[in-house]
Amino acid sequence: MSIAKYFDDMSYGLSPESDTEARAWLARHDHSFGHFIAGSFTTPDHSFQTFEPATGKPLAHLARGTAAEVDAAVTAARKAQSPWAKLTGHARARHLYALARMIQRHARLIAVVEAIDNGKPIRETRDIDVPLAARHFTHHAGWAQLQATAFPDHAPLGVVGQIIPWNFPFLMLAWKLAPALALGNTVVLKPAEYTSLTALLFAELAQAAGLPAGVINIVTGEGDTGALLVDHPGIDKIAFTGSTEVGRLIRQRIAGTGKSLTLELGGKSPFIVFDDADLDGAVEGVVDAIWFNQGQVCCAGSRLLLQEGIAEDFIRRLKRRMDNLRVGSPLDKSIDMGAIVAPVQLDRIRALVAQGVAEGATLYQAAMDLPTNGCFYPPTLLTGVQPAHIVAQEEIFGPVAVTITFRTPDESVQLANHSRYGLSASIWSESISLALQVAAKVEAGVVWVNATNLFDAAVGFGGRKESGFGREGGREGAYEYLKPKAMLGRKLRPAQPPITARSASIADFVAPTIDRTAKLFIAGKQARPDGNYSRPVLTPRGALIAEVGEGNRKDIRNAVSAARKAEAWANATAHNRAQVLYYIAENLSARATEFASRISAMTGQGAAKADAEVAASIERLFSYAAWADKYEGSVHAPPLRGVALAMHEPIGVVGVICPPEAPLLGLISLTAPLIAMGNRVVAVPSAPHPLSATDFYGVLETSDMPDGVLNIVTGDPQPLAEALATHADVDALWAFGSEALSESAERLSASNLKRTFVDHGRLTDWHHPSAEGADWLRHATEVKNIWIPYGV
């Protein structure tokens, strides 16, 4: 070919990365790997074969973790945990820093092994996955160093089980291990069956870096091995990234065990382009949103929402760009897309695209020759898609974008939020006010303005709705590997006796008993219970004091609907929310004597204790009024041209099951932080002593609290908690009571993967200062990280 010809067609030549070192590493291991347990590799007994996605050739034999092996790994992690946690923060920081340096020193080997094992382009493993993994260890070395001053009231969780997927095998490993180790936990990690090699390579590097035995353990295997880890009683937390289906299963399996859980699941993220956007910039954004990593990205911008005026032009420019993308060998440095991870994923992509076409979408695929062997799929665009189509709803997890048009900003928000997922969103507009207005309204854990798929160790990542819960990265992610010291050693709550009135005795004739039947409180009004049943409220000796409504599922539905309608509370200013809480405190204070005598009558406590409970309730209302405008977000400074605003947002509609004890203080301690942060609440008060809540209606009615912000349904906590847990329009559930209550709240919440906050039947000292403050406010908020361009 003449030089002139090269100038004419400007085509790329091959630019292959050498795989000699990586193949030599595989050969050194005879292409066969055991688990990494207690600081050394096991001999693989039961193994399975993995394949190279780009060629289909066999790659390695990996051990399939058995129950005994998982147990050995958990035992090793348990043994190492206490000495690891007892190291000084500085000593742990040095270990993490050593791991970061090790990654940097072996960066190219890791990048090549990853590209071979997963099929992703070397350009991405070399420039994104591996440097970012090193950054996670460096950043979290910092949290280890600062742990004693940054988190003085928190302790590590213990032994953490981590289960990661195949789309970012090495990055996910770093993302999970770094915060866990930094804060004094030890880990058993199960990589995905397709892509375990870089985890095993990392184990080798950690061994060489002198990480103490048992601090990390890697057990390879398939889903069954993951399930063994989830079920193991020696695990204190599961951190999972993967499909929503498996996430839901895990939520159900560990319900009631006391294990913590974070779930980072799927997404169908909107990529919104307004008509004032820099269109060429946005086209490049789409390339990074959906063709990065072959679209196998949980936060891929897979739904292109285009404003009508620019849609046609944008699609034309996008198609032209698609035609210039290159798909090929992952080890070719000049390709844009590599191979899909496995034939089963390729089949899934093909089937979903065929379904999209059958539903009426128009298919466009870049004109290109794909490699004939291996799992390859071209960049794909489906236009003319309707919001209800399967391809607009389901995560395709491949290089397939769909387009939908909209007219107004409000319509774009409606479309963006029309999804069971809520992981991320990308917003393109040259108008800062428009972009930030929409950023505030999209239901997502991460929002990028005029950018997409930006990640950093200092910035929390995670979703809402069926994209899971919990954050990874930054200060918000650190808390996911810690527990408040005040929660340690709490006693089990004594079993509650059944509420049955004894027959009247002569003593009952001393004073009048039944004065009225208290109703429910829904949408700012007192409402009769749907079933028209009531339940008794007794003195400690069993005499009847009053009756309250027996709320049922229908009452819960009405209360949830009232709470949903009170959406404006979320947008009330923090100052305004504080004013209402102060006003409630003022009105409660005016009736303090009456509330105290009611507490005495129900609980049998002496006047001094009852007075103290009312006084503490008033003080707690003041505290949360104070916090309302002080529990602010923060600004993260990632090493990019921009900042991330970590905004504290309300979760939405939250169900609250109050504990049996402390009838007034329990109610206030659980509802006030939620209300202060802009949530709307459906509360079920103390079952044996509900009158503090029903008396509270009068306080609410005179305190300018908008209707529907706090709704109260009296009744049996167990069925009412079940109704709340299974309600699709409830975003979170707090359940304080019996162990069985916690178990069912966690298990049933899996329906829409709502967040839960439960006490596993353990008593809280409601008078203690630790029963209020930031730990509670964290449960009452979602952190939304909004990345915005900033600076030069």
Choice from 165, 462, 652, 715 touching ligand NDP (CB under 6 A): 165
DSSP codes, 532-596 = --EEEEE-TTS-EEEEEE---HHHHHHHHHHHHHTTHHHHS-HHHHHHHHHHHHHHHHHTHHHHH
Choice from 39, 56, 223, 789 touching ligand NDP (CB under 6 A): 223
3-state SS, 383-441, equals: ECCCCCCHHHHCCCCCCEEEEEEECCHHHHHHHHHCCCEECEEEEECCCHHHHHHHHHH
Using the rule CB under 6 A, give the single segment among 160-168, 373-381, 436-444, 527-535 that binds ligand NDP.
Answer: 160-168
At closest approach, how far in Å is the CB of 146 from ligand NDP?
29
**Is 230 one of the binding residues for ligand NDP (CB under 6 A)?**
yes
| Distance between CA atoms of residues 628 and 631, nearest Å | 6
**Residue whose CB is less far from ligand NDP, 241 or 764:** 241
Residues with active-site annotation: 264, 298
**Residue whose CB is less far from ligand NDP, 70 or 458:** 70
| Distance between CA atoms of residues 401 and 303, nearest Å | 6
| Distance between CA atoms of residues 35 and 42, nearest Å | 5
**Is 73 one of the binding residues for ligand NDP (CB under 6 A)?**
no
| Distance between CA atoms of residues 716 and 47, nearest Å | 52
| Helix, strand, coil fractions of the chain, as percent rounded to 5 | 45, 20, 35
Choice from 128, 227, 339, 700 touching ligand NDP (CB under 6 A): 227
| Strands of the sheet with 446-449, listed across from one edge | 362-365, 380-383, 400-406, 301-307, 269-273, 424-428, 446-449, 781-788, 643-650, 634-636
Rounded alpha-carbon distances, angstroms, from residue 152 to 208, 486, 769, 779? 32, 11, 15, 19
Q: Which residues pair with 241 in a beta bridge?
A: 264
**Residue whose CB is less far from ligand NDP, 114 or 395:** 395
Residues 373-402 that bind ligand NDP (CB under 6 A): 395, 397
Residue keyed to tokens 């049933």: 748
Choice from 158, 214, 226, 685 touching ligand NDP (CB under 6 A): 226
**Is 242 one of the binding residues for ligand NDP (CB under 6 A)?**
yes
Using the rule CB under 6 A, give the single segment among 208-216, 243-251, 485-493, 667-675 that binds ligand NDP.
Answer: 243-251
At closest approach, how far in Å is the CB of 247 from ligand NDP?
7
At closest approach, how far in Å is the CB of 171 from ligand NDP?
11
Q: Which residues pair with 12 in a beta bridge?
A: none
| Distance between CA atoms of residues 327 and 532, nearest Å | 67
At closest approach, how far in Å is the CB of 268 from ligand NDP?
10
Q: Which residues pair with 272 in a beta bridge?
A: 305, 427
Using the rule CB under 6 A, give the single segment among 136-144, 164-172, 652-660, 698-706 that binds ligand NDP.
Answer: 164-172
At closest approach, how far in Å is the CB of 64 from ligand NDP?
9
At closest approach, how far in Å is the CB of 48 from ligand NDP?
9
**Residue whose CB is less far from ligand NDP, 399 or 715:** 399
**Residue whose CB is less far from ligand NDP, 242 or 477:** 242
How far, in whole angstroms, is CA 785 from its chain's centroid? 13
Choice from 75, 81, 118, 167 touching ligand NDP (CB under 6 A): 167
Q: Is 449 exposed, middle or buried (0-12, 13-18, 19+ CB in 10 A)?
A: buried
Provide the b/e sequence for 385-422 (b: ≥16 CB within 10 Å).
beeebebbebbbbbbbbbbbbbeebeebbebbbbbbbb
**Residue whose CB is less far from ligand NDP, 395 or 547:** 395
**Is 364 one of the binding residues for ligand NDP (CB under 6 A)?**
no
The tokens of 377 are what? Answer: 């799929």
**Residue whose CB is less far from ligand NDP, 317 or 348:** 348
| Distance between CA atoms of residues 603 and 521, nearest Å | 23
Residue keyed to tokens 């559930």: 733
**Residue whose CB is less far from ligand NDP, 198 or 738:** 198
**Is 543 one of the binding residues for ligand NDP (CB under 6 A)?**
no
Using the rule CB under 6 A, give the single segment among 241-249, 279-287, 311-319, 612-620 that binds ligand NDP.
Answer: 241-249
Q: How many residues bind ligand NDP (CB under 6 A)?
A: 26
Query: DSSP code of 760?
Result: T
**Residue whose CB is less far from ligand NDP, 92 or 190:** 190
Residues 129-148 that bind ligand NDP (CB under 6 A): none
Using the rule CB under 6 A, give the single segment among 218-226, 428-436, 447-455, 524-532 that binds ligand NDP.
Answer: 218-226
Q: Which residues contact 760 (CB under 8 A, 6 or more apart)?
A: 256, 258, 739, 742
Rounded alpha-carbon distances, angstroms, from residue 369 to 362, 376, 628, 709? 21, 10, 59, 59
Residue nearest to ligand NDP (CB): 226
**Residue whose CB is less far from ligand NDP, 249 or 612:** 249
Residues 244-303 that bind ligand NDP (CB under 6 A): 246, 249-250, 265-266, 298
Using the rule CB under 6 A, give the single segment among 76-84, 238-246, 404-412, 518-526 that binds ligand NDP.
Answer: 238-246
Using the rule CB under 6 A, give the single segment among 21-29, 163-171, 210-218, 531-539 that binds ligand NDP.
Answer: 163-171
**Residue whose CB is less far from ligand NDP, 302 or 714:** 302
Q: Are strands 260-264 and 237-241 parallel, antiparallel or unpaired?
A: parallel
Rounded alpha-carbon distances, angstroms, from residue 218 to 36, 81, 232, 366? 5, 15, 15, 40
**Is 425 one of the binding residues for ligand NDP (CB under 6 A)?**
no
| Distance between CA atoms of residues 111 and 348, nearest Å | 27
At closest approach, how far in Å is the CB of 735 from ligand NDP?
25
Residues 21-60 that bind ligand NDP (CB under 6 A): none
Choice from 163, 331, 449, 643 touching ligand NDP (CB under 6 A): 163
Count of alpha carbons within 13 angstroms of residue 149, beta-carbon side: 4
Residue keyed to tokens 């939020």: 417
Residues 175-194 that bind ligand NDP (CB under 6 A): 190, 192-193
At closest approach, how far in Å is the CB of 741 from ligand NDP?
25
Kind plus residue range of the DSSP H or E element containing 22: helix 20-28
Using the rule CB under 6 A, give the single segment among 20-28, 240-248, 409-417, 766-774 that binds ligand NDP.
Answer: 240-248
Q: Is 561 exposed, middle or buried (0-12, 13-18, 19+ CB in 10 A)?
A: middle
**Is 174 one of the binding residues for ligand NDP (CB under 6 A)?**
no
**Is 717 one of the binding residues for ligand NDP (CB under 6 A)?**
no
At closest approach, how far in Å is the CB of 416 from ligand NDP?
18
| Distance between CA atoms of residues 693 and 685, nearest Å | 6
At closest approach, how far in Å is the CB of 719 from ligand NDP?
30
Choice from 36, 166, 377, 595 touching ligand NDP (CB under 6 A): 166
The tokens of 716 are what? Answer: 């049996």
Q: Do residues 658 and 710 lie in contact, with contact meaning Cβ atoms separated by under 8 Å?
A: no
At closest approach, how far in Å is the CB of 229 from ligand NDP?
7
At closest approach, how far in Å is the CB of 67 from ligand NDP?
14
C-alpha closest to that of 735 among 670, 651, 782, 653: 670
Using the rule CB under 6 A, give the single segment among 159-167, 274-282, 449-457, 577-585 that binds ligand NDP.
Answer: 159-167
Q: Do residues 382 and 400 lie in contact, with contact meaning Cβ atoms separated by under 8 Å?
A: yes
Query: DSSP code of 43?
Result: P
At closest approach, how far in Å is the CB of 218 from ligand NDP?
12
Contact residues for ligand NDP, defined by CB under 6 A? 163-167, 190, 192-193, 222-223, 226-227, 230, 241-243, 246, 249-250, 265-266, 298, 345, 348, 395, 397
